[in-house]
C-alpha cells in the first residue's frame, strides 16, 4: 500500500471557521473537489472558493433544521470504503458514490455553550453534534486512505504537506491526525456526559460524581523537561474543563514555557479569577508571596510586589486587567520575572516588556469576564484519581459570624474578606496577614499552624501592626492566634469549629481584637 495518498475530493463542514477560507483556497488551487454544508459552504462561496453542497453530492436534502446532513451512505461509503478491497469498490459504485479523501470537520461548540451562564437545556441539546462525530470517526478509522482534520491548528501542517507532495498526504500525518480525531470525539462525548451528570443545587456527592468518567487528553506540546531536568514532561489539553484555559493563552513574548512555569501559572490563574476589582498576585512555587487590590492595576501590582520583594525574584505574576504603560513600567523594573499573565497588554506596555527577551508574556482574555462554573478537580494517585469539586467558596459579610465582642471596622472588614480569598489559594497550613488591600506576611505549607503564623509574622514585621489575619483552618490552640496578636493584628478571620473555640475567642476578647468565623475551611494540599 502506498504511503502517499492523493487528495482529489474533500468534505469540509466546520463550526469553527478559523482558517477555513485559507484552506479552501489551497484545495481549490490543487483542483480538489470540495463538498460542504450550511454555513461552511456559504463562507467558502463568499470567499470565491468553488464548492458544492452536500445535498448535491448525496441527492438528498438537509432535513430537520440541519440535524441530518452528512448521515448518508454516499458520504460514509465514500469515506469508509477500502480502496484495495474489490467488494467495497463495487458496492460504492452500486451506490453511485465517489471517494472522499479528505475530511475536515470540527464539532458544534457544545463546551463553549454550556460554559455560558443561563443556558437552557434545549439550547445545550441543540449543540450536541451527531453527524460530525460520526463523520470524524469514519475518516479516522480509514486513515490508511483518508486524511481527517478536526482542529484549525492542524491546517498549516496539512497545507505544508499537500504542497510538499503535490496534493498528497503521508501515512505518518494521517495516522497522527487520526489519533487526534479520536481524542477529540472522546473529549466531546466526555463533556456531554459530564453535563448530563452535573445538576446545580443538589447536595448529594453522587449528583456531582458520576459512576464512571473518562479523561480525554490531547497532547498540546512536549516540554523541555519536568520539575527537574531528568524528568520528561508534556502539556495536554483537557477540552472539557470550563472557563479560561492556559492551553489557550497566547504567548506574546519570551522563550518556551517550562513544566514549572505552567504549574505556577495554573495557581496564578485560579487566584485572579476570584477577584472583580483590579488585582495582582506574585507567585512562587504555586504559593502567593504577594497579592493586592488597587484602584488601578499598576497600584495593585506595586502593592503586591512590595509585600515580599525578596521572594518575588524569579516569580510568576498574574493581573486581571489590561497591562498599561504605568503597570508595565513597574513590571519592567522588577528583577527577573519568569512570566506575566494578563487579559491583554496595550501596545506601549508590550513594546516595553518585550525588551527583556526571556520574560514570557501571556495574554488570556477570558480572565476579565469569567463567571465561575461547576468543575471537577483531579489529583492522580497510584492506580487512580482523587476527584473533588472545585473550591469556589468566597465569604461574604452576610454569612460570616461575629465571634468576638468587638466588631471589625469597615476597613478591617474589607481586609478580612480580601485575606480570606488569598488564604484559600495558599498551601496549608496557611496564615495570611493583610493590610490596606494587600498581603504583608504569608506563612504557608507548614506542618503546624503556629509555625505558619510565626512565619507570616516574621515576613510582615512592623507592617502586621494594625493588620488582619486569616487562617485557612481553625486554631487548635491559642498559640497561633497569640503570635498574630503579639505582632499587632487587630482582626482575625477563621473557620472556627475547634474544641477550644471558647478559649480562642476569650483570648481575642482579652486583646480587644475582632474575630470572624466563617464556618468553611480552605485546606489546600
Active site amino acids: 141, 285
H or E element that contains 316: strand 315-319
| All three cell numbers of 250 | 497566547
Helix then strand then coil, in percent of the chain rounded to 5, is 40, 20, 40
Spatial contact of 340 and 331, defined as CB atoms under 8 Å apart: yes
- Cα 94 off chain centre by: 49
What is the rounded distance in angstroms from the CA atom of residue 251 to the CA atom of residue 257?
9
* Closest CA relative to residue 283, chosen from 321, 234, 342, 337: 337
- In 55-175, at which residue ranges do the beta strands (DSSP E only) sit? 102-106, 147-149, 168-170
Would you give the DSSP letter of residue 96? T
What is the rounded distance in angstroms from the CA atom of residue 110 to the CA atom of residue 467?
47
What is the rounded distance in angstroms from the CA atom of residue 394 to the CA atom of residue 424?
9
CB atoms within 10 A of CB 223: 18
What is the rounded distance in angstroms from the CA atom of residue 55 to the CA atom of residue 36?
9
What is the rounded distance in angstroms from the CA atom of residue 157 to the CA atom of residue 456?
52
What is the rounded distance in angstroms from the CA atom of residue 426 to the CA atom of residue 169?
50
Amino acid at each position: 500500500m502506498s504511503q502517499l495518498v492523493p487528495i482529489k475530493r474533500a468534505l469540509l463542514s466546520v463550526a469553527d471557521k478559523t482558517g477555513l477560507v485559507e484552506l479552501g483556497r489551497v484545495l481549490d488551487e490543487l483542483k480538489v473537489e470540495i463538498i460542504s454544508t450550511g454555513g461552511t459552504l456559504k463562507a467558502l462561496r463568499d470567499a470565491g472558493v468553488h464548492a458544492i453542497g452536500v445535498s448535491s453530492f448525496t441527492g438528498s436534502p438537509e432535513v430537520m433544521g440541519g440535524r441530518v446532513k452528512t448521515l448518508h451512505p454516499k458520504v460514509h461509503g465514500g469515506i469508509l470504503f477500502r480502496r484495495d478491497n474489490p467488494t467495497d469498490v463495487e458496492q460504492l459504485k452500486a451506490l453511485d458514490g465517489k471517494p472522499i479523501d479528505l475530511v475536515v470537520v470540527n464539532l458544534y461548540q457544545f463546551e463553549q455553550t454550556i460554559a455560558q451562564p443561563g443556558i437552557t437545556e434545549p439550547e445545550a441539546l441543540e449543540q450536541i453534534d451527531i453527524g460530525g462525530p460520526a463523520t470524524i470517526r469514519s475518516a479516522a478509522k480509514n486513515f490508511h486512505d483518508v486524511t481527517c482534520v478536526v482542529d484549525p491548528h492542524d491546517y498549516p501542517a496539512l497545507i505544508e504537506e499537500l504542497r510538499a507532495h503535490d496534493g498528497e498526504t503521508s501515512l505518518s500525518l494521517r495516522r497522527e491526525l487520526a489519533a487526534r480525531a479520536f481524542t477529540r470525539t472522546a473529549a466531546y462525548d466526555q463533556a456531554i456526559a459530564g453535563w448530563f451528570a452535573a445538576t446545580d443545587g443538589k447536595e448529594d456527592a453522587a449528583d456531582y460524581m458520576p459512576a464512571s468518567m473518562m479523561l480525554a487528553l490531547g497532547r498540546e506540546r512536549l516540554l523541555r523537561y519536568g520539575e527537574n531536568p531528568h524528568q520528561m514532561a508534556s502539556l495536554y489539553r483537557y477540552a472539557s474543563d470550563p472557563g479560561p484555559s492556559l492551553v489557550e493563552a497566547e504567548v506574546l513574548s519570551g522563550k518556551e514555557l517550562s513544566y514549572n512555569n505552567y504549574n505556577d501559572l495554573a495557581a496564578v490563574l485560579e487566584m485572579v479569577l476570584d477577584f472583580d476589582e483590579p488585582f495582582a498576585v506574585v507567585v512562587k512555587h504555586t504559593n502567593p508571596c504577594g497579592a493586592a487590590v488597587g484602584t488601578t492595576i499598576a497600584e495593585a501590582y506595586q502593592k503586591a510586589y512590595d509585600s515580599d520583594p525578596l521572594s518575588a525574584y524569579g516569580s510568576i505574576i498574574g493581573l486581571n486587567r489590561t497591562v498599561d504603560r504605568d503597570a508595565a513600567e513597574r513590571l519592567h523594573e522588577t528583577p527577573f520575572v519568569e512570566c506575566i499573565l494578563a487579559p491583554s497588554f496595550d501596545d506601549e506596555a508590550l513594546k516595553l516588556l518585550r525588551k527583556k527577551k526571556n520574560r514570557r508574556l501571556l495574554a488570556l482574555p477570558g480572565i476579565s469576564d469569567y463567571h465561575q462554573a461547576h468543575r471537577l478537580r483531579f489529583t492522580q494517585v497510584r492506580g487512580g484519581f482523587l476527584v473533588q469539586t472545585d473550591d469556589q467558596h468566597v465569604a461574604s459579610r452576610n454569612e460570616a459570624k461575629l465571634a468576638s465582642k468587638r466588631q471589625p471596622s469597615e476597613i478591617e472588614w474589607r481586609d478580612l474578606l480580601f485575606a480570606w480569598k488569598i488564604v484559600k489559594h495558599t498551601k496549608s497550613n496557611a496564615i495570611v496577614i493583610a493590610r490596606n488591600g494587600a498581603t504583608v506576611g504569608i506563612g504557608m505549607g507548614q506542618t503546624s499552624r503556629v509555625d505558619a503564623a510565626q512565619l507570616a509574622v516574621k515576613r510582615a514585621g512592623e507592617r502586621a501592626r494594625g493588620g488582619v489575619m486569616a487562617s485557612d483552618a481553625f486554631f487548635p490552640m491559642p498559640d497561633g492566634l497569640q503570635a498574630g496578636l503579639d505582632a499587632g493584628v487587630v482582626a482575625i478571620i477563621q473557620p472556627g469549629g475547634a474544641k477550644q473555640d471558647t478559649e480562642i475567642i476569650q483570648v481575642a476578647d482579652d486583646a480587644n481584637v475582632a474575630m470572624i468565623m466563617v464556618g468553611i475551611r480552605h485546606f489546600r494540599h
